[in-house]
Structure 1
Amino acid sequence: MPIPEDVTGEDIEKDVRQELMSLPKGLADDVAKNLVMVGRLIDEDPEQAYAYAKVALRLASRVPAVRETAGFAAYGVGKYAEALAEFRAARRMTGGVQLWPVMADCERGIGRPERALAMAGEPEVQKLDKAGQVEMRLVAAGARRDMGQAEAAVVTLQSSELASNSVQPWSARLRYAYADVLLEVGRESEAREWFAKALEADQSGVTDASDRLAELDGVEFLDALDEDEDEDKVEAEDVGQDAADEDAPDADADTDAEDPERD
């Protein structure tokens, strides 16, 4: 995989750089560059990010950060079984629990929501930081919905973090998920309230809460691009009609040519 010249690998996270020090310097640099490319592309071009992650994995499969990165790259392209295998490998190497929620979400992706729900009750959850615990709650609620238990998902999301008025990194997604499942169970007015709260907390645009609110309010947005295309189409039709009118034979001229008595 080609690496742009501006990518040196120097801007990689310090703890990852520390892990790569177990490799020969040249190899460590190559792995670092591929990991940087994964970070650059994972949101805008997940398929390309996945390809760079596979290169890094081939070069340094015994480095925990590489296995974790490969897991997230596989997760980004919907290869949940592969992602789960990589996350498990990374966890075995480090003994950490921070990957527990995404591992549970991989179980959902594979089609085993009951396994994801079981993981939500494991002791590992208590070892997670607050953000990890909220993430685990979101995964558990998603598993409930996968199993057709929307009402139970509502209860799962009800928590002190949801009730808090302070805005945290997870607030927008938690409020949005709660609004979405409220709508699913037919509690539309409450859903609208929580979509509004999600929008208030969504400072970086991670949800489409504004669109959901507009939909509930019956507001339709016209796509500016579509409007421009329609105007261009009308103009093109007008130009085409003008050209046709210019090319059309003059009726009076034809009449003069055909009537000898008018000569």
Structure 2
Amino acid sequence: MDPDTKRDLNSLPKSLAELVGKHIVAAGMFVDEDPERAYAHAVYARRKASRLPSVREASGVAAYTVGKWQEALSDLRAARRMSGRDNFLAIMADSERGLGRPERALEIAHDPAAEQLDAADRIELRIVAAGARRDMGDTKAALAELQVPELKERRARPWVARLFYAYADVLEELGREEDAREYFARASSVDSEGVTDADERLAALEGVELVDIDIEDGIVWTDAEEPAELEEDEGPEPGPAPRGRD
């Protein structure tokens, strides 16, 4: 449990704080693997302690994961008003996109408070802004949203991989396949947690098929146009050498 949540819970009677805390922790545990279950826990916590900003934040995030955009916005706006925290601006902006309001998503993305976010939250907001531009049919503007100094980052971080991937995706839509290939490759090289399918996208651009991933040899590729079956009287021909992520 994060310090902000602990501090909020201290304002409740001990028994209620323990009950709400358990549901908040459960919501966080299940949010990725079972969003509906996480949402149920978060709703219960909100019903018991709706005046706590950390509870409203957890409820808003859970609502977002199950596509309840308006509910997510309502809870996250309340959490922001009560706590003064801005770290969930990206989720708020993306909820506006979910409601079919990309213009409002861009208003949130360009809120002055966004400049004070940490790198991960700031980049996530830029990715959402690029998505809003694409929703509006302006792919060039989407690319501009992603042209940030962090494109030079080389550390293996999930947010770096997501930035490179989003940039590559827009480049491909613009028909700039060589540049897209470069950034899909960069995304693959820093995606140590597997948050993107950059390997598959890179393979598609290079006209090869991703067959398997070997712990020692890395990614194994094959020519996508190679015949699937060999003649029965012919022995198997040597395949291509395994290639690593780079």
On whether the aligned pair clears a TM of 0.5, the verdict is yes
**TM-score interval, smaller chain:** 0.7 to 0.9
How many Å apart are 1:159 and its aligned residue?
1.5
222 and 169 in structure 1: CA distance in 2 versus 1, 3 angstrom threshold: closer
> Displacement, 1:127?
2.6
Alignment of 1:9-48 (within 5 A): 12-48=1-37
Match of 2:131 in 1: 142
Q: Which moved more, 1:104-113 or 1:172-181?
A: 104-113
Q: Point out the structure with the larger helix share.
A: 1
CA distance in structure 1 between the partners assigned to 2:44 and 2:109 by the alignment:
33
| C-alpha distance in structure 1 between counterparts of 2:179 and 2:122, whole Å | 24
CA deviation map 1:149-178 (0-9, x unaligned): 111111221121112334444210000000
Moved more, 102-111 or 213-222: 213-222
**Alpha-carbon spacing, 1:221–1:200, altered in 2? closer, same or farther (3 Å):** closer
In the alignment, which residue of structure 2 is the partner of 1:187? 176
TM-score, normalising length from structure 2? Answer: 0.81
Alpha-carbon distance in 1 for matches of 2:47, 2:148? 43
Equivalent-residue separation in structure 2 for 1:16 and 1:103 (angstroms):
20
TM-score by length of 1: 0.76
d(CA) in 1 for partners of 2:183 and 2:175?
14
Q: CA RMSD in A?
A: 1.6
Contact 2:42 2:58 in 1 (8 A): yes
When structure 1 is superposed on structure 2, of 122-131 and 135-144 the one drifting more is: 122-131
Instruction: Find 2:186's aligned residue among 176, 191, 197.
Output: 197
The sequence identity of aligned pairs, in percent, is: 56
- Residue 99 of structure 2 is matched in structure 1 by 110
Between the aligned partners of 1:129 and 1:220, the Cα distance in structure 2 is 37
- 2:167 matched residue in structure 1: 178
Matched residues in 1 for 2:109 and 2:188: separation? 27
Aligned to 1:165: 154
Q: What is the rounded CA distance, in whole Å, between the counterparts of 2:111 and 2:41 in structure 1? A: 34
Which has more strand, going by share of residues? 2
Distance 2:47 2:83 in 1: 20
Q: Which runs of 5+ in 2 are unaligned?
A: 213-246
Pairing 1:93–2:54 present: no
Conserved 8 A contact 2:200-2:210: no
Structure 1: state its 5+ residue gaps.
1-11, 224-263
**1:62 paired residue number:** 51
SS at match of 2:208: coil
Q: 1:182-261 to 2 correspondence within 5 Å?
A: 182-221=171-210
Give per-residue Cα distances to partners, 1:105-143, cap 9 Å, x unaligned.
Answer: 111111110111122332222232333322221111111
Kindly provide the amino acid, as one letter, of the partner of residue 92 in structure 1: R
Task: Please give the alpha-carbon distance, in whole angstroms, between the structure 1 residues aligned to 2:100 and 2:157.
Answer: 30
Amino acid at match of 2:89: W
The aligned residue for residue 235 of structure 2 is: none
Whole-Å Cα distance in 2 between the matches of residues 57 and 218 of structure 1?
A: 50
Structure of higher CA gyration radius? 1
The one-letter code of the counterpart of 2:16 is L
- Pairwise CA distance, 1:58: 0.7
Write the distance in 2 (CA, Å) between the matches of 1:165 and 1:112: 34
**Pair 96,208 (structure 1): closer, same or farther in 2 beyond 3 Å:** same
